[in-house]
A and B are shown apart, each in its own frame.
Chain A
């Protein structure tokens, strides 16, 4: 269980942002339960601090996000932000390797880190009396990581990350789909055109100097937000934050170049042969990132199209025509870009070409008529429950508060998200459906080895020529 740690959830962020937006009731618009008590302040060195007390159980979550992810990497050094995340667990100036685990999992708590396109986070969940220990651990690697970093440590983690890539992508049926889409959706060199895990070749290329430069630029207090959530005394905690983080020097301001949205001039049809027995059809349209208001309507649209048996795609493909055994639709949004994706698993006797036509039929009808009032209400009805359930976890609250603070400058963004989702109208959904699903898209067929003819419109589909990144022998 625990050993799947330091997993790389490229989707973590999407989940934090979108899943507050799962189906939910609130037809009377009352959102009194949508609150998290918190306070926030900034240290002179630029570190943003958020505190939220919850004494339900005697534990504390210490969570820190750095505003750096795979999009800050350079082509040729992909996978670097995530590799770096691993390096952060190898000890720092005053803390030898192993102590971090000893004072977290070894005292009944836990720790982990994760990397997405946009940010990297680290956390400790500990018994309440270990708060100071956790702040000591986190501050030392923010301030003194490079003191003890050497090439041996880097190489050891490089091997682990390559194994992570093998396990989560290469040895996973359909595991390379996100990577194929990223490369097809964005022009070469675009910050979202490579996968968070990176390529085997690039992982091998990272040098000790790369690591150091990356750290100096991005792992400074002014590029980080710290949250403490759980059973603690805020006055005492503020003193501890000052004690451990107050003397860390401010870093250079981080430049944030504007990143263009994905845009396709014409639709693309791709086919990829994988070690699978059941083919799958994937459709992807470029949309917007989570900071654009259209994202709210796109989320609502995804609940109307799939996720329940009466959702449009599910009802049509899985229940009525029974062409498919499963179908999923979702808006996957990052800070700067987003995509809307539909995934279809066929029943054996039906071709991907048939499925694509069936998906299109549902979408065309939806574009023409938009959602019904009942569909809209169902899509919003689960929001309150899923928000409340999120409040059961200190770490969940910490992530919620930090993401608001980091991406919007507003830790209470969860409330805005809630209200803006409630405010989505049928006209909004109809508009975004037409605007995004009416545009060119990428159609990807994943088929068994040697069965390219099973692709949707096989004759028009281009084989995906991924570089051989399995890198097994390198």
Chain B
């Protein structure tokens, strides 16, 4: 049937060609033939210079002159996990927000107006293990924007009334987050895996936000924004000499101080036998899944094998998880998996949003795919090749934009990777074998200790989940605390 139609189509195409649209007598096109592909383009990794500045910061410059644009970024090694205490979670974010509230010589409005006239924005943020302050400007506005960045970073005045306004906004945001099943699921997942004593299990709460004082913010600013832990990365339409001069002038007031923190994390809580942690969200149209456990840090020698493994399991559209649960079964708009790495034991997770009525069926499929990747369904040569091709040939795309280049160069320093990391990337990915994959899958996807966090409509999904027999169910509230077990349905909880 199929073949017949195909021939027919071919004949039509031929007829039309003959009918004389093209004057050239063409061979009828055989569309079943996959086009020949030429040799892969030669990898062109951007080059950069590194200069150690007298104040302790490392300056990296990478020139690219195709557009009159410059990207400027200061990255700080260490983040909220190193510089916040549990009771004051949120002080880092509060501090970065307050950098735009006014300096010794400019009010918040004046800073904003000056940046609007320069046509740009200065952004700052602090994640778990690093932070940044950055902008992209036109070449001609680079010096003027850098001067404002320096003013914000070094001379902020942290007005008390601005703190109260930002506190109120943060509290509204935290309230709104309670309505977001995707956020709830991620937060509960982290708390279940890492507990309250590990920074990976902590988050900003209403109580911590309420406890932050202006003194906390000012102390944080002093302690954190130090050159001793800073990498200044400038990419774009600027020469190395000009960039160095601009930094020496623009950041002249930034004197020596600080160092890179140790990333000493407390011991992980003991792994628990596999369990379903169910968070009730009455009336939810979907159940949000996060399945996983603590994984290896970024410096694991198994990194390349894990990247290949995850590409096959859940890193792409045609990965096993999405091909099955979305494309074949139609239970979801998309599911995926990843290893989060980090300096510490970042999690392995698999998950996605699942149609409520298919919650149990989807869990069965998730477990089937996880069992499959750890051995029940061995990885094929075809899967291995496609995953490697995808990783290796996708590399140039990372050098497409100034901020992309800035990120990939800076991350080498932050993660302690060698300068030739991208030149040797293909070799390292190619070296991964099926045996490696079998080994790392078994080691890092520990089926007996998975935490299965599901946020959804309990009345509809609890009994079917229980009936799968996959794991016992514990009820949690949206904070991840044990919830009362007064069941809305007739099912029992253990």
Seen from chain A, the residues whose Cβ lies within 8 Å of a Cβ on chain B are 1-5, 23-25, 33, 44-45, 56-59, 93-95, 98-99, 101-103, 105-109, 125, 127-130, 132-133, 136, 140, 143-144, 147-148, 155-156, 158-160, 162-164, 166-168, 170-171, 173, 231, 242-244, 246-249, 275-278, 308-310, 315, 318-319, 322, 325-326, 345, 347-348, 374, 377-378, 381-386, 388-389, 391-394, 470, 472-473
Contact = CB atoms under 8 A, between A and B. Distances in A.
18 contacts: A3-B317, A3-B322, A25-B118, A106-B390, A133-B35, A136-B31, A140-B31, A155-B330, A159-B330, A162-B355, A167-B286, A168-B333, A242-B22, A326-B169, A385-B69, A388-B69, A392-B400, A472-B285
Nearest to A392: B401
B44 interface: yes
Nearest to B111: A309
A24 B119 CA distance: 4
A231 B355 CA distance: 42
A243 B27 CA distance: 10
Contacts of B327: 156, 160
A101 B13 contact: no
Given A144-B31, A310-B113, A391 B67 contact: yes
Contact of A171 (B44, B120, B285, B336): B285
B341 to A, nearest CB: 14
Contact of B119 (A94, A168, A382): A382
A108 B401 contact: no
B486 interface: no
Interface in B8-32: 9, 12-13, 16-17, 21-22, 26, 29, 31-32
B408 to A, nearest CB: 12
A263 B481 CA distance: 51
Contact of A93 (B5, B318, B390, B394): B5
A129 B137 contact: no
Contacts of B328: 156
A163, A248, A278, A383 interface centre (most CB from chain B within 10 Å): A163
B285 A345 contact: no
Contact of A381 (B118, B283, B354): B118
Given A102-B318, A105-B316, A147 B175 contact: no
Given A57-B44, A136-B31, A246-B22, A94 B357 contact: no
Given A310-B112, A470-B285, A108 B172 contact: no
B165, B176, B180 interface centre (most CB from chain A within 10 Å): B176
Contact of A5 (B141, B317, B338): B317
B108 A127 contact: no
Interface string B329-364: 011111110100000000000001111110000000
B168 A347 contact: yes
Question: 10 closest pairs, A vs B, by CB?
Answer: A159-B330, A108-B393, A108-B394, A58-B41, A3-B334, A94-B31, A378-B116, A173-B179, A382-B119, A132-B35
B109 interface: yes
A325 B168 contact: yes
Interface string B171-184: 11101101111000
Contacts of A391: 67
Interface of B: 2, 5-6, 9, 12-13, 16-17, 21-22, 26, 29, 31-32, 34-42, 44, 64, 66-69, 100, 108-109, 112-113, 116-120, 136-138, 141, 165, 168-169, 171-173, 175-176, 178-181, 283-286, 314-318, 322, 326-328, 330-336, 338, 352-357, 386, 389-397, 399-402
B308 to A, nearest CB: 13
A148 B2 contact: yes
B333 A59 contact: no
Given A4-B334, A148-B2, A325 B169 contact: yes
A326 B21 CA distance: 58
Nearest to A24: B119
B330 A57 contact: no
Given A136-B31, A156-B328, A277-B176, A57 B168 contact: no
Query: B-side binding surface: helix, strand, loop or mixed?
Result: mixed
Contacts of A56: 64, 66, 400
Given A58-B396, A105-B316, A308 B112 contact: yes
A178 to B, nearest CB: 17
Given A109-B394, A170-B285, A473-B357, A57 B399 contact: yes
B400 A57 contact: yes
A107 B393 contact: yes
Given A310-B113, A345-B172, 7 more contacts: A2-B315, A56-B66, A107-B393, A127-B40, A136-B35, A382-B120, A392-B400
A388 B70 CA distance: 11
A163 B400 contact: no
A197 B100 CA distance: 39
B34 A133 contact: yes
Contact of B21 (A44, A278, A310): A44
A397 to B, nearest CB: 12
Nearest to B168: A347
B397 A392 contact: no
Contacts of B283: 275
A163 B355 contact: yes
B355 A129 contact: no
A163 B327 CA distance: 12
Nearest to B328: A156
A449 to B, nearest CB: 9
A247 B16 contact: yes
Contacts of A147: 2, 5-6, 9
Nearest to B31: A94
A108 B397 contact: yes
A109 B390 CA distance: 7
Nearest to B394: A108
Contacts of A164: 333
Nearest to A92: B31
A318 B162 CA distance: 11
A133 B34 CA distance: 7
A378 B69 contact: no
Contact of A385 (B120, B178, B394): B120
Contact of A231 (B5, B41, B100, B284): B41
A361 B132 CA distance: 39
Nearest to B116: A378
B397 A377 contact: no
B41 A3 contact: no
